Amino acid sequence: MARGTRTNLATLAGVVGDNSPVDRPATGGTPTNVPLSELAPNPRNPRDDLGDLSDLVSITGTQLQPALVITRDAYLRLYPEDETTIGLARWVVINGCRRLAAAENYGRPNLDIVVKDEVAKDRETLLAAAVIENVGRRDFDVIEEAKAVELLINECRTVDKAALKLNKSKAWISYRRSLLKLAPELQTALRKGELAVRTARTLAQVPPEAQVQAWAAEQQREHKKKPEPDPTPESDNTLPARTPVTAAKVTRTFRRLEADPATLADALVDYLDADGLRTLIQALTDRP
């Protein structure tokens, strides 16, 4: 409505309340909290495994972030072959599959959602949204990440387009893809944390048939760099060698303390047993 004009009350009534365009859900009247039975996880989720869900156990009481979903129709326009997979679900979860799994696992009956069918405008955008959700997560290992990036490249058909979708550099894309050149044994070691990512990237440049041998050689070199541990004593009760006590050291101690003869006598009586005192007296008597 133009500024400075009269307001028609009948017209105003038509754009408020349920008819207001402000803050209207993306699909028009879609609820923001829905039963789990109406949600399906993304069949095209790039993750191989949702991992340990124990960090999401608090979802039984509080869901800190809503799941991003698209409508059933929006998903099936892109992947009609997945109709059986998603069943009768009204929405497909694109970002938040772990939250959905945790809710099912820990007994939460519903989930907060945000409906955004715009992320399903094409397959590239939908896959990019799923990949971006997981990139950089601690529980999303580098091999899963590399596979997800490769899927997106295949969908986009070019590295440049995939990099643009992910808002990442071509070097970042290239680094991830290089890990897929590793031998299966090394990929497993990398996922378990037994192989450092820095070393893995170097090994990926070696012909596949020589990678395992090259890793073994690298491990031997690293082992040789480590200092040899101190020999274990024969017994835990072994005491460290004591520094020899000389008369000169005792004399310096007495002088530093400025002890008088009576104080020295009291200290010696406390320090020495009866045999020690007799030996001391005899030693003093024998002195010239």
At residue 79, the pLDDT reads 95
| Structural domain count, the chain | 2
* Percent of the chain clearing pLDDT 70 (strictly above): 70
Given a cut of 70, whether residue 230 has pLDDT beyond it is: no
Structural domain range at position 90: 25-181
Whether the model pTM is above 0.75: no
At residue 115, the pLDDT reads 94
Q: Which of 181, 201, 232 is the last residue of a domain?
A: 181
**Separation of alpha carbons 77 and 94, rounded Å:** 15
For the CA atoms of 212, 216, 217, 218, the dihedral, rounded to the nearest 10 degrees, stands at 100
128 touches 153 (CB < 8 A):
no
Q: Which of 163, 181, 199 is the last residue of a domain?
A: 181
Q: Is residue 155 domain-shared with residue 42, that is, in the same domain?
A: yes
Residue 61 identity (one-letter amino acid): G
Q: Is residue 265 domain-shared with residue 165, that is, in the same domain?
A: no
Q: Is residue 161 domain-shared with residue 282, that is, in the same domain?
A: no
Question: Which token pair is 62?
Answer: 């509080």
158 touches 195 (CB < 8 A):
no
Q: Which of 143, 164, 181 is the last residue of a domain?
A: 181
Identify whether 11 is part of a domain. Answer: no
Angle of helix 142-156 versus helix 123-134 axis, rounded to 10:
160
Identify whether 136 is part of a domain. Answer: yes
CB count in 10 Å sphere of residue 107: 9
**Separation of alpha carbons 95 and 134, rounded Å:** 9
